[in-house]
A and B are shown apart, each in its own frame.
Chain A
Amino acid sequence: MQKFLPLTVLSLTLGTATLSRAAGATTYPLTLTDDLGRQVTVKAEPRRIVSLLPSDTETLCALGVCDRLVGVDTYSDFPQQVTRLPKVGGLYDPDLEKIVALKPDLVVVSKYGKLEGPLTRAGITVLAVNPETYDEVFSKTLTLGRVVNREAQAKQLVLNMKRDIARVEILTRNATRKPSTYLEIDPAPYSVGPNSFIGVLLAKAGARNIIPASMGDFPKVDPEFIVKANPALMLGLDLKTARSRPGWNSLQAVKTGRVLPIPKELNTILGRPGPRLPEALRGLARLVHPELFR
């Protein structure tokens, strides 16, 4: 795959025209297993959808059914038009009454909200669609596409995303040096393993993650380990914080000033395994290899 990247881009570009006609319309009632392992039957094409996960909101809009959303969670803020929709609370404080009052024929939820019970009892179809890994971003896009009768658009969207990702990869793959990188997602400190969604993007952005896969996806890291690894680049904190930590003054990244906070907008997209994945990758690649984007 790595070797034939330019070919991949070409075939992805050419393939879009033929593929989009191959996908058929969804037939209802549609029965599928959701991310909570429940058997869910969608009786007819959903017309009034409530989305309780920002990445699902973005995916539904990217599939062209933004106008069918009648409510979203507190954190859904993209695309612009969803900010005008009624807000029905967040993961910890969902407003059940408000959701039911919107008369949705489909509510898309995360794995963790425990909303499926009460909403199902209220006679509402609830579907947990919760992308977490890199590969799931694509598979869940296709799932949502099937559910809302936009299978062709979903396949097209996945192809476009993969093409845009490959374009960034072509740049970073030919970078002369790949800096050893420590990415901090929480000052406790927590970092990301290579198999996590962000870890995959980090590798594609042309960085060598100092965290080995054996430490898990979101490990709490002993500061000793970071000092020993002596990364050339640190992301997710600022230079002042890094300097204030015991023993960090002597690290490569701190000495050369390669300690970069992740801009707020990019940080938001990085936490959303959805259609803006290529954008997140571009943002990361710009931080890791600014010389490639001049």
Chain B
Amino acid sequence: MSYEQEGRVLVPPVPRRLGRTAVLVLVLLGAVVLAVGLGSVTIPPGEVLGALWRGITGAELAGNDVIVWQLRLPRVVMGVVVGACLAVCGGAFQGVFRNPLADPYLLGVASGAGLGAAVGIVAGWPRGTIPLAALVTALAAVAVTLGLAREGRRFPPTRLILAGVVVGSVLSALTTFLMLGGEDRARRVLAYTLGDLGFSGWPDIAAVLPYAAVGCGVLMLLGRALDTLQLGDLTARSLGVPVERLRLLVVVAASLATAAAVAYVGIIGFVGLIVPHVVRLVWGASHRVLLPVSALLGGTLLVLADLLARTTPLSQVGVVTTLLGGPFFLWLLRRGRYE
């Protein structure tokens, strides 16, 4: 369970990996079962199972079935999808920028989505169009960041990060300006930017899933290239990694997945920053392991955080992730040897 040493084989033998993956999948499933079973409305386990059965078979929903099948389960599934998504994108960003502070929102995705949502909310557009507006502006924000950071055909990491921070700040300021204009809508915009899985339904999941699957799938396929990139741009190039194209591909894939997540559930902090580090501390830094394991752990973490948000007065999932994730990570940091 120690941090991999340089010079040792980065990939552990197969049986150990299979065992570890199995354990993580079981933990995730355990979290899902727990989260579907518990909520602000108490429903006995037998009824929960019945509701799931009736939901899957398409039978008539009765009594508490609606709560389990239409509200709780979609919320939990959305938690798994978004949590996995944020953790994978965070890990990929940290790898591609070789910067431990990178998170999925690094290039202005979140503030772009926030601005789109704020415009929609202040203009009074119908609720269904808000996520689409957020998605469009989130991707536009990343495009602007990429445009500003470009040097010919190259995207130097430092320029990307700086451009992202500035684009993010400008867009956040615009959002704040809009919020100050509409007094009664300010709280709605604020609530949106805080992140919430509250009204996630099956259609929302169907909307997010393609982006998440494509984005995260591409990132996981790039694991080996990201590992090589850790040796430095020059070395990676000499080993045949198309560094610039890789960087662009990672940014586009991660932004696509993150933008979809932000558009539907708002900005949930901390998961994308911390989960990859936890995985590195415990399972080593190879991206081929890091990204899939981050997905499992990110999904688990967000489902449990949302469970606490639903059943305790903490009530906002972002508050839970930070309040509980922060101290846990600091404890891990003291225990582990982080270099």
Contacts and interface: CB of A to CB of B under 8 A. Distances in A.
A92 interface: yes
A75 B202 CA distance: 40
B187 A222 contact: no
Interface in A212-241: 220, 222-225, 227-228, 240-241
Interface in B174-215: 180, 183-184, 187-188, 191, 196, 198-202
A123 interface: no
A227 B67 contact: yes
B334 to A, nearest CB: 34
Q: Which of A188, A267, A271 has the most CB of B within 10 A?
A: A188
Contacts of A244: 127-128
Contact of B188 (A188, A225, A240, A245): A188
B40 A75 contact: no
Given A220-B315, A224-B71, A244-B128, A187 B41 contact: no
A220 B316 CA distance: 9
Given A188-B188, A246-B70, A246-B74, A223 B64 contact: no
A291 interface: no
A48 to B, nearest CB: 27
A79 interface: no
Interface string B53-66: 00000000100101
B40 A222 contact: yes
A224 B183 contact: no
A93 B187 contact: no
Nearest to A186: B187
B247 interface: no
A94 interface: no
A33 interface: no
B180 A246 contact: no
A241 B310 contact: no
Interface residues on chain A, size class: 20 to 34
Nearest to A240: B126
A190 B41 CA distance: 17
A187 B188 contact: yes
Interface in B66-89: 66-67, 69-72, 74
A6 interface: no
B224 to A, nearest CB: 40
B200 A246 contact: yes
A228 B127 contact: no
B199 A228 contact: no
Interface string A56-95: 0000000000000000000100000000000000101100
A118 interface: no
Contact of A93 (B70, B180, B198): B180
Given A223-B198, A224-B310, 20 more contacts: A75-B183, A186-B188, A187-B127, A187-B188, A188-B188, A220-B315, A222-B40, A223-B71, A224-B71, A227-B66, A227-B67, A228-B41, A228-B64, A240-B126, A241-B127, A244-B127, A245-B199, A246-B71, A246-B200, A250-B61
Interface of B: 39-41, 61, 64, 66-67, 69-72, 74, 126-128, 180, 183-184, 187-188, 191, 196, 198-202, 310, 315-316
18 contacts: A75-B183, A92-B180, A186-B187, A187-B188, A187-B191, A188-B187, A222-B310, A223-B198, A224-B39, A224-B41, A224-B72, A227-B66, A227-B71, A228-B41, A246-B199, A247-B70, A267-B184, A271-B184
